[in-house]
Amino acid sequence: MSPIRLAMIVLAAVTLVGCGDSKPPAPPAPPARPVRALTVERRATGETLSLTGQIKPQVQESIAFRLDGRLVARRVNVGDSVKAGQVIAQLDPQIQQNGLRQAQANLSAARGQLLQARNDFERQKKLLETGYASRSRFDQAQQVLQTVEAQVNSAQAQLRSAEEQLGYTEVRADSAGMVTAIGAEPGEVAAAGRMIVQVAHDGGRDAVFDVPAQIMRTSSRDVVVDIALTDDPKIKTTGRVREVAPQADPVTRTFLVKVGLIDPPEAMRLGATVTGSVTLTAPAGVELPASVLTQENGHPAVWVVDPQAQTVSLRTVEVLRYDSAAVVISQGLETGETVVTAGVQVLRPGQKVRLLGDAK
């Protein structure tokens, strides 16, 4: 073998031995993943609830007759304004007028009998004093006088009753207001108690809502409600809860709530559709963006940042309320902890992260 070839073999052997003794270089550490995060603060806000309702009068009166009869006149229509004491409708008074005439005649007859009985009594009294009449005759005259006096009192009472019955043939408005409904037309026979005209009294107005039972359990009655016209939200006012139904509607299972309006604008007419908005009592919890949530074994969870090691860990939490843009977490987080708000789907436990900007 030539010296040159021998030297090459030795050099290759030395090279192979040197390569066997060296270790491969360690792979570089993965870079920290950039994420957005914020610091937890205990300031959950109350949910804003909006419901649709209707404007109604606080006092609405159904006017009806106290007796049966044929309706001969109705002097108002829907939308008319009425004044206190104004005649609203009239029945045919013929029967009541006949009754009044009979009562007047009975009273006149009774008064004639009273005059005769009183004269006889006075005569028998004088005769008794002079000894020309017996005691029994005087007692008889006195008894007749008392009987006739009772008959006169009865006739007077019947006359007053007949006058009242005649007065019941017309109905009047108790206070000023506006006619909102009609229950009978002239010519119809109206039964006693049947609604003839419905009048909404002037004054207070209510916004009436059907409120779900869950809201009734969590909301306060002493709360200010913002009211706005549904077709023109610029027209608005405020109100307070004035009345709450003691039981739920058997069909809808909602409670009727009346909100008394404070200085309602003229445009909020009776029957107008309005929207009521109220902020419910703030729940005890942490309000965070909805993007913080992920899952662990089917339960809601969030990524919590270790401020020293700048690594993340997954922690399960309890969610009290879900909104479109935020969630309220009732348990699982403490004030001052930092949670990831963006990039939660690509993290793994123990992964090193780099916060983009300051956590707020």
Q: Is residue 196 scored above 50 in pLDDT?
A: yes
- Report the alpha-carbon distance of residue 55 to residue 149 in Å, rounded: 59
* Residue 224 shares a structural domain with residue 271: yes
- Report the alpha-carbon distance of residue 208 to residue 87 in Å, rounded: 31
* Residue 72 shares a structural domain with residue 175: yes
| Residue 14 domain-assigned (yes or no) | no
pLDDT in tens, 42-57: 665 666 778 999 999 9
pLDDT in tens, 265-286: 988 988 899 999 887 666 667 7
pLDDT band at 24 (very low <50, low <70, confident <90, very high): low
Say what the pLDDT of residue 16 is.
47
* Residue 196 shares a structural domain with residue 207: no
| Residue 184 domain-assigned (yes or no) | yes
Among 152, 167, 182, residue at a domain's last position? 167
Instruction: Count how many domains the chain has.
Output: 4
* Residue 224 shares a structural domain with residue 160: no
| Residue 120 domain-assigned (yes or no) | yes
| Residue 11 domain-assigned (yes or no) | no
Using CA atoms, how far residue 257 sits from 113, 225, 312, in Å, is: 65, 12, 49
Q: What is the CATH number of the domain that holds 223?
A: 2.40.30.170
* Residue 87 shares a structural domain with residue 188: yes
- Least confident range of 2-16, 102-116, 194-208, 344-358: 2-16
Among 225, 258, 279, residue at a domain's last position? 279
* Residue 225 shares a structural domain with residue 326: no
* Residue 234 shares a structural domain with residue 116: no
CB 180 within 8 A of CB 198: yes
* Residue 175 shares a structural domain with residue 225: no
Among 279, 312, 329, residue at a domain's last position? 279
| Residue 15 domain-assigned (yes or no) | no
* Residue 124 shares a structural domain with residue 145: yes
95: nearest Cα among 128, 60, 67: 67
147: nearest Cα among 167, 117, 104, 192: 117
| Residue 233 domain-assigned (yes or no) | yes
pLDDT in tens, 303-322: 888 888 888 888 888 887 77
| Residue 1 domain-assigned (yes or no) | no
Name the DSSP letter for residue 292. G
| Residue 137 domain-assigned (yes or no) | yes
3-state secondary structure (DSSP) of residue 80: coil
* Residue 73 shares a structural domain with residue 105: no
**Domain containing 70: what range?**
63-91+170-200
